[in-house]
Amino acid sequence: TNYDLNAGRIDETVHPFSTGYYDDVRVTTNYHLDDFSSSFFSVLHEIGHALYDQNMPQKHKYQPVGSYVSDGFHESQSRFIENFIGRSSEFWQYFLPKFKEITGGIFEDVELDPFVRAINRVIPSKIRVEADPVTYSMHVIIRHEIEKDLFAGKISFDDLPQIWNSKMKEYLGVDIDNNAEGLLQDVHWSGGGFSSFPSYAIGNIIDGQLLWKMDQEIPDWRKDMQKGDLNKVIDWLKTKVHQMGNLYDPLELVKKITGEELSTKYYLNYLRKEYSKIYELK
């Protein structure tokens, strides 16, 4: 993915995150011995963040204009690598044989199509960072609704566990057994990061529009990915997003890159097309 390990490293922690910028950008993940996908996709997600931070314009280093444009754009870069690349059939067409080699034969009998279908399985989950792309935004909506009501004084702090559990049941149909898998699963609120969750949904929307434009400008990037070559797609993101730094406002940058105002239609079209193909829907 062109993540420069001479200017970064990967370590283990409780909750995946990346930190730093320019010449020192570090990535963390956590591991589940019974599920490779959690750590794998969290690493791809954080690598997406790290690529943005490592490739901001050096000529504006340590200046405001040399920073990233918005949290929404930052999440677009992480989720593009995680989902649009990491969950694609083209990516695994090249990397599945290598994955089989390093996992000691556990996946030796697994074929490409069932594998891709498995990592794209749509099923409601308790944990946001493990959610599939289709249901993921529901996790964001739940958090956003709770934040708004909390700051509006409509709900109290003591009621948060019950409200959280109720919304998870109503929106996703899952039962929460404890606060660790409930409202304490993220580091954002405990670190004062209120109002940050919508940036994940905004990132998804931006991604859909970036993908639409990328398909027009470098239509063969998926064929390259089948051969393990990610250079075109990463270079496109570097040129269009990373190297722009904080020169433009977020909505200005979207229009500069794609020629259109930000719209949800491109992300929705992506979900319909991708998951209709995976689930063989007409």
82 among known catalytic residues: no
Q: What is the CATH number of domain 5-122+203-278?
A: 1.10.1370.30
The mean pLDDT value for 65-80 works out to 96
Distance CA 23, CA 237 (A): 19
Return the pLDDT at 232.
96
C-alpha distance from residue 38 to each of 58, 129, 148 (Å): 33, 8, 29
Per-residue pLDDT tens for 6-44?
999 999 988 889 999 888 999 999 898 888 998 999 999
* Domain boundaries, given as residue ranges, for the chain: 5-122+203-278
Whole-structure pTM value: 0.90
Q: Residue ranges of the alpha helices (H) in 55-172?
A: 71-79, 89-102, 112-119, 136-151, 160-172
Distance CA 268, CA 5 (A): 35
pLDDT at 1 over 70: no
Per-residue pLDDT tens for 154-177?
999 999 999 999 999 999 999 999
Per-residue pLDDT tens for 173-191?
999 999 999 999 998 888 8
Return the pLDDT at 187.
84
- Spatial contact of 27 and 48, defined as CB atoms under 8 Å apart: no
Given the residues 46, 75, 82, 274, the one annotated as active site:
46
235 vs 21, higher pLDDT = 235
pLDDT at 142 over 80: yes
Return the pLDDT at 222.
96
Chain length of the chain? 282
Number of H helices, E strands in the chain: 11, 3
* pLDDT band per the 50, 70, 90 thresholds, residue 281: confident
Distance CA 240, CA 242 (A): 7
Give Cα 203 distance to the centre of its chain: 8
Distance CA 44, CA 271 (A): 19
Distance CA 213, CA 259 (A): 9
Composition of the chain by helix, strand, coil, percent to 5: 60, 5, 35
The mean pLDDT value for 97-116 works out to 94
Distance CA 30, CA 218 (A): 34
Pairing outcome for strands 24-29 and 10-12: parallel
Backbone angles phi, psi at 46, to 5 degrees: -70, -30
In the chain, DSSP assigns E strands to 10-12, 18-21, 24-29
* pLDDT band per the 50, 70, 90 thresholds, residue 280: confident
- Spatial contact of 100 and 231, defined as CB atoms under 8 Å apart: no
* pLDDT band per the 50, 70, 90 thresholds, residue 120: very high
